[in-house]
Structure 1
Amino acid sequence: MPQRQSRKTFADRLDHLVGQLRSRILDGTYAEDDFLPAESALAKQFDLSNNSVRKGLEQLVAEGLIVKIDKVGSRVAANSSHQRTTITIACYPSIERDVAFTELLEDFHRLYPAIRVKPITASPLTDSGSYAGTIRESVANGTADLYTVHHMDFTELIAEGAAERFEPLVPAPGTYPFLNERFAVDGTGESFVQPLMFTPLVLCYNKDHFAEAGLLEPDSSWTWQHLLDSAARLTVPGKRHGFHFFALSDNRWPFFLLQTGAGFARDDCGYYAPTDSAQLLGGIRLCGDIIGNRDVFPPYLSENQPEATRLFAEGKISMQLATYNSLNDLKREALRYDIAPVPLPTSGSPATLAIAIGLMAGKASQHKEAVKLFISYAASHEAQRAIRSRTLSIPACKPAAEAAERAESAQPNGQQAGLNRPEHFQLFRDIIPSFRWHADLGLPIPLLKPLHRLLKLYWSSMIDDDTLLAELSRLSFPLGADRAEQQHG
């Protein structure tokens, strides 16, 4: 009996079948309305099972090259020799930086030349000012087939009952389980998102600045007092400050609240109030004290996260709160830097803010098979490994994310990555138990905006402790808000 073929050999034969049939359709060997050879004949020719042949034919159906006719066979689709299926993906503006999206699309197009993926940059143009609102509009208008989605947007969409507008998805093998759980619908376990990447918030620091100041580098024992003491010694008046972060980012300021272990709970009247006012106020004060400390924190008003990271790249600050995604702004910079866990909270367990991004498919798409094919590719080990080698982002596929560093240098196209990767890049593996999510605050996502406004007033000394606590005890949706939002809060 012949030895069983390896999985790779099987995959190669299946790819060969699809590639050969695709080429013969595109070059006219199989003309429009021609029938392909029977599945049994293809199985014999390419040394595959009938089930495997069907899988390959389904891929050609997704590409719009053939049409399956029940009990008859597979017929070449009209205009298939020159027509391509085009699907549109609505993306966050940072997707190019975060996953080297152009290169990822080029890889996909080489594998599936009959499908084109057209990216459009989504922006919060709705009255709500949220990307979830942009996705709602896009779904209603049919302007996109699939979407990149932040876990906050997913939480907001599901709370509004929008799940029926999206295709259920089966997460790819190898995806971190905690990411699948983050994108699962409570009570059903059903998922509508394929995780693409994730990141925790970490402390990023300039190694040369620490060496010049004669300071030991940060480690997992650091408290906020350690950070502030070191930041004071790292600050050089007129030249640089010791610490900075983009305080307006929804991926930064909630971290200080999450570290307290306190949150919000809804009362019988529909208001949201702190579960522990003293603890929550402590985290709010800490954030305000840091950003108001002119001895260590610059008054520079960053307009976005890349601009804040630019200060670090230029050596104008020594430490910053960063995500792995934001480290991509440093991947070509000639500076010595590293990362460490965020400082420990005053009380409680280690905690950091985590962020996850995934792909979601619209149920109304006219090209569902092509959409699922792209999602499947983006979640594949090959594509996830490409993200790992081309960027400093963390792919959702565990084997790809935790791949040995010695494999980094080889790009799929043979080029060298040459990324300025921090020495402790694999830190994320050790701090997974400390991950906290925006939803852990216990607030509906739309209420983060009015909460942030209150905090900005407090940090600007425009309201005092008592006023802040009084306002925090009656957070609610504004009058006229959609009733479904209140019910799903």
Structure 2
Amino acid sequence: MTDQPSRKTARLRLEHMIHTLRGDIIAGKRRPGDFLPTERELSKQFLLSNKLVRVGLGALVREGLIEKIARIGNRVAEPLPDRPVGLRFGYPSSLDRDAELGALVRQFHRDHPAIHVQPIPIAFDKYYETVKAYLETGLIDIVAMNYNNFHDFCRNGRLDLLLECERDDDAYYPFLADAFSSGGKLYVRPFVFSPLVLCYNRDHLRAAGLPDPYRPDSWERLTEDAARLTVENERFGFYFFLHSKNRWPVFVMQSGGLGADAASGRESSIDAIMNGLNVCREIIYAPNTFPTFLSGSDADAEELFAQGKVSVILSSYMAMNRLRESDVRFDIAPLPVLREPATIMMTIGLAVNKRSESAGAARKFADYLLSANAQTDIRAKTLSIPALRQAAERTGAETIYRPPGYMSYLDMVPYMRLFTDLGLTAPQMDAIMKEANLYWAKLQSEIGMRGKIEAILRAD
């Protein structure tokens, strides 16, 4: 046996050293005129021979990033070469609207002309599979992902693709960092977030004699009010996209959730799921309340609302950005309560590709998107809630229509839950959803549905 690393291992370590030093220089962690550690120190840090360390330093000299000073050491070049670094940023296209991403990228280019960001929109369908492949092949250096995507990385054991980050709980809402952490380590830096809320048309409620601000204390009350809001051939009172993972599960959460009992398939777990599914069924079959045949996508709710075809919807702060160009006067209300107060939290964060050759530049771009200036711009120009507490809670003149109840999210923080708090795995949720479609369509009895749920819970 030999302690010498294989050629492949040595090459990977050498590339890692070059990428790390290059990234530190580009990101400004090592400034012009700073001396690098000695060759001996670099050898220990990166587990390389002195010969390979000199090979790596030679590559940085040829790039013009460092200069070798005879008998003294290696120093960051002064000035650095005027050569833009290409940075590929993968993101869901909704951020163009929900964070005014194009304007943020243009401002970053003005402030950092040496780094060029290429935005790469990624379709939401099979987002995890696409992002994983892009990270593995180096097609993206930094990516935006939501909690559901991060959970997929955790569940599939692929956190090795994401660079660890440092928390800053004094500046950012700590519960967001908790969502993007695993094993006590933060892998995704929170960017924007939202609880699931009610969004209602203020003029419709006023015309129906309902109060504004609107605060229904139960789903039964909301259903009754929705019947009053419905106008035949004109609008329905209430609507949400039934099949979304960020919609129907809230009824199960408010039924008490499942917790550690879920895997056992115990009666209490089945009761909680059935209670949530039954509330959904009661809502969609309530007379003159819910447009049963509309079930295309999450976006349908906001589109119908903007057209005045629906009076109340389940929505999020981010989704309500679709209403910014409408003439509808709308406001926000917390969800009614079934048995326990709960709402689903949606959040999007930024992750750096651990294998990226431009990891330093990617961190710099993430720093900018999470800076006070960028986060305040998001707060001023959109309805999304920035992760930076200072920006989210700012007061002052508004440049867009902002619903009067915008700050009510602060009261919802204690009741925000992640979909994983249900106690169900993603495959279990998908399986229950498939069976629930038949139950909601009245093609499955309650006894039959309970049996399906028990089999799903026990199967895992």
TM-score range, shorter chain: 0.7 to 0.9
Indicate the residue corresponding to 2:201 in structure 1: 206
Alignment of 1:310-389 (within 5 A): 310-345=303-338, 347-348=339-340, 350-389=341-380
Indicate the residue corresponding to 2:418 in structure 1: 437
Deviations 1:158-216 (A, max 9, x none): 1222112211011345110111111111xx31110100011001111111111111122
Give the C-alpha shift of residue 152 in structure 1: 1.4
Deviations 1:261-297 (A, max 9, x none): 2226478xx7766743223211111112212335111
Deviations 1:110-161 (A, max 9, x none): 110111111112225xxxx632222222222222111111111112211222
The answer to whether residue 109 in structure 2 is matched with residue 133 in structure 1 is no
CA distance 1:86–1:469, shift in 2 (3 Å): same
Give the C-alpha shift of residue 77 in structure 1: 8.7
2: CA distance, partners of 1:264 / 1:74? 54
One-letter code aligned to 1:391: T
1:277 to 261, 270, 293: 270
CA distance 1:377–1:352, shift in 2 (3 Å): same
2: CA distance, partners of 1:198 / 1:150? 9
Residue identity (%): 32
Moved more, 84-93 or 393-402: 84-93
Give the C-alpha shift of residue 254 in structure 1: 1.4
The answer to whether residue 156 in structure 2 is matched with residue 166 in structure 1 is no
Partner of 1:205, secondary structure, is strand
Moved more, 256-265 or 429-438: 256-265
Partner of 2:455, secondary structure, is coil
8 A Cα contact 2:205 2:212, kept in partner = yes
Give the C-alpha shift of residue 102 in structure 1: 0.4
Indicate the residue corresponding to 2:65 in structure 1: 66
Partner of 1:91, secondary structure, is strand
8 A Cα contact 2:249 2:276, kept in partner = no
Indicate the residue corresponding to 1:448 in structure 2: 429
> Please, which runs of 5 or more residues in structure 2 have no aligned partner?
1-25, 36-59
2: CA distance, partners of 1:451 / 1:400? 39
Indicate the residue corresponding to 1:426 in structure 2: 407
Alignment of 1:165-314 (within 5 A): 165-172=161-168, 173-185=170-182, 188-217=183-212, 219-220=214-215, 222-263=217-258, 265=260, 275-314=268-307
1: CA distance, partners of 2:108 / 2:428? 39
Alignment of 1:385-424 (within 5 A): 385-404=376-395, 406-408=396-398, 417=399, 419-424=400-405
2: CA distance, partners of 1:92 / 1:279? 33
Indicate the residue corresponding to 2:448 in structure 1: 467
Partner of 1:72, secondary structure, is strand
One-letter code aligned to 1:279: A
2: CA distance, partners of 1:68 / 1:444? 54
Indicate the residue corresponding to 2:438 in structure 1: 457
Instruction: Count how many residue pairs are aligned between Structure 1 and Structure 2.
Output: 402
Deviations 1:237-258 (A, max 9, x none): 1111111112222221211111
1: CA distance, partners of 2:110 / 2:94? 24
8 A Cα contact 2:265 2:458, kept in partner = no
1: CA distance, partners of 2:267 / 2:391? 40
TM-score, L = length of structure 2: 0.81
> Please, which runs of 5 or more residues in structure 1 have no aligned partner?
1-21, 23-35, 41-60, 409-416, 479-485
Partner of 1:461, secondary structure, is coil
One-letter code aligned to 2:382: T
TM-score, L = length of structure 1: 0.76
Give the C-alpha shift of residue 109 in structure 1: 0.9
The answer to whether residue 100 in structure 2 is matched with residue 100 in structure 1 is yes
Q: Which has the higher helix share?
A: 2
2: CA distance, partners of 1:158 / 1:352? 23
Give the C-alpha shift of residue 357 in structure 1: 0.8
8 A Cα contact 1:447 1:477, kept in partner = no
